[in-house]
Amino acid sequence: MTTLRGITARLRHGTTPLAAAAALVLAATSASAQDISQLRAGATYIGLELARPSFSDDGFTTFSGLGYLSSMFGSGRTRFLVELPFARGSTEGEFGTSSSLIGSPFVGIARISETEGNGASVSFGVRIPVPESFELGDDDFAVAIGAVGDPDRMEASYTETVTASGAFRFDRTLNESVLLRAQVDADGLFFLDTSGDTFEAFLGWGGLVRWDGDRAFASGQVTGRVLLTEDEDDRVFHHLAARAGWTFGSAQPFVGVRVPIHGFAKDVVDWTLLLGVQVRLGG
């Protein structure tokens, strides 16, 4: 098992982007385990998000990608969050191969503000470790797709790893249509495979601006993360994301793009296409 230091070393020494992506299946590095919802804090929903990274050296087939099925539910000021990640990676050519993965599920609990969309909320949760047998196929391509395709939840694609997460979020709604959000989160990874490092810690931050109209919505987001247990130059990475969608009753399908702007993923992924839908529960 290697750490973020091992990943960046391979990138610096001429490893091709595709090979570096495959090497990430051995890496132990974290990201936010918080919900994907772009809704106001506390809004209950069920959602599906799919992502297809475009690699700098892309030998993967069109239908390689990753996704999350998630839901937030509850009553009063208490919310429960569950998330099931999955990924598939397959390569083209005469010797093409493929693999599929059911990742580490996330379960969490949140305490929200009294007024939805205004005030502070806190959340805590864990990712339940899955055995290596949860990846079906050859060459660990599914893990590579999941890890590099979504650095904000990279640990979701790792096996035999327990992740404990906590987050503080502050929302402010302006003119009933613009949501501003700031968030700080922390993640601790505990590796059940003790042949290498046994623990890593990350600190993350992010901001979101979302506009809601009668029939459409759009959002922009920036996220950042620093590896606290290493001192390498590439231990910090940032991403920008934008989404736009439509409102049909309680359903909100969307399309978006995520772009790495700093850190190791910038050398591997050009951009990531996002597709999904969130259905608000209770109308």
Consecutive sets of 10 residues in the chain, 283 residues long: mean pLDDT of each? 39 41 38 48 85 77 87 90 90 72 92 82 92 64 78 81 93 90 93 80 92 93 88 80 93 94 82 93 73
Which residue from 279, 187, 261 is spatially nearest to 220, judged by alpha carbons? 261
* pTM of the predicted model as reported, rounded to 2 decimal places: 0.82
CA distances to 68, 79, 139, 237, 240 from 149, rounded to whole Å, are 12, 28, 17, 14, 13
CB 7 within 8 A of CB 27: yes
Which residue from 154, 160, 156 is spatially nearest to 130, judged by alpha carbons? 160
pLDDT tens digits for range 111-170: 988 776 789 999 999 999 887 766 666 556 777 788 778 877 888 887 788 999 999 999
The pLDDT value recorded for residue 9 is 40
The pLDDT value recorded for residue 155 is 84
The pLDDT value recorded for residue 276 is 94
CB 68 within 8 A of CB 156: yes
The pLDDT value recorded for residue 137 is 63
Place of tokens 């993360």: 225
Q: For 26, phi and psi rounded to 5 degrees?
A: -95, -5
